[in-house]
Amino acid sequence: MSRIAASAKIHAMAVVEDGAVIGENVKIGPFCYVGPNVTLGDNVELLAHSVVSGRTTLGSGCRIFPMAVIGGDPQSVHHGGEETTLTVGDNCTFREGVTVNTGTADFGSQTIVGNNNLFLANSHIAHDCRVGNNVIMSNNVMLAGHVTIEDRVILGGGCAVHQFTRVGRQAFVGGLSAVSYDVIPYGMLNGNPGLLSGLNVVGMTRAGIDRATIHTVRRAYKAIFEGDNSIRDNAAAIRDEYAGCEQVVQILDFIAAESDRALSSPTRGQKG
């Protein structure tokens, strides 16, 4: 049986399947579809022709625009119809045509999206992705399966992120870039193939990181990517020197972590 709050406003031409949980002050417009295993938190708004299906939970204040499909089955040949989930935090906006898939049974069965995210028209989040908080995905951005996007990342229009790739905190990826390798926190990546082109100084400044700290991170970046040894060896060699800088430590931890992908650099994937 559905649990529908008395304050919810559901258009007569919307379909809400039996079993759905609808929170306070939810608005569901005409021609929307809400599946039987869906939970909509308080103050969620579904505009006309939007779909929320699967075993999906939307946190409070989310907005779903027309033709978006949230909680569709994973687009994977390995998916056998198992019951998997999508969990979305609070205050996320999914613009027109956005698609977000549930997880797959072989990889934990979960797709997870954090809070305060903006997903512009026709962007896509595939199965088993992990998206943090305050992320912006511009129009037509494509995340393949198992991608991790950390907090405050901005992905430019039309960029594509390879499966199992990580994009670190507050990184910036330029439009139409091909992200084939992990992108360090605060990094800036552009092109096809995507090459690391420095630090996201604008984003760091907007986040309130002071100039002295930015200069410290720049010095560490140079030591990591211009040192005589491998990226990981260079990073390990400077850890003690930069232990007092939170942002550098985040970069070093990211580099040291296990990953299925190599690290983006200023030269990796470059021809010639």
Residue 71 in 3-state DSSP?
strand
78's CB contacts (< 8 A; 6+ apart) are 104, 106
Residue 242 in 3-state DSSP?
coil
**Which one of 124, 127, 146, 162 is the catalytic residue?**
127
**Which one of 23, 114, 145, 174 is the catalytic residue?**
145
DSSP 137-167: E-TT-EE-TT-EE-TT-EE-TT-EE-TT-EE
Measured between alpha carbons, how far is 31 from 19 in angstroms, rounded to an integer? 19
Active site residue 124: no
Contact 62, 87 (CB under 8 A): no
Active site residue 42: no
**Which one of 89, 124, 128, 194 is the catalytic residue?**
128
Active site residue 128: yes
Measured between alpha carbons, how far is 13 from 178 in angstroms, rounded to an integer? 42
Strand order, beta sheet including 166-167: 3-4, 21-22, 39-40, 55-58, 85-88, 110-113, 130-131, 148-149, 166-167
Measured between alpha carbons, how far is 98 from 115 in angstroms, rounded to an integer? 17
CA dihedral 259, 168, 247, 89 (to 10 degrees): -120
Give bridge partners of residue 178 from the DSSP assignment: 160
Catalytically annotated residues: 127-128, 145
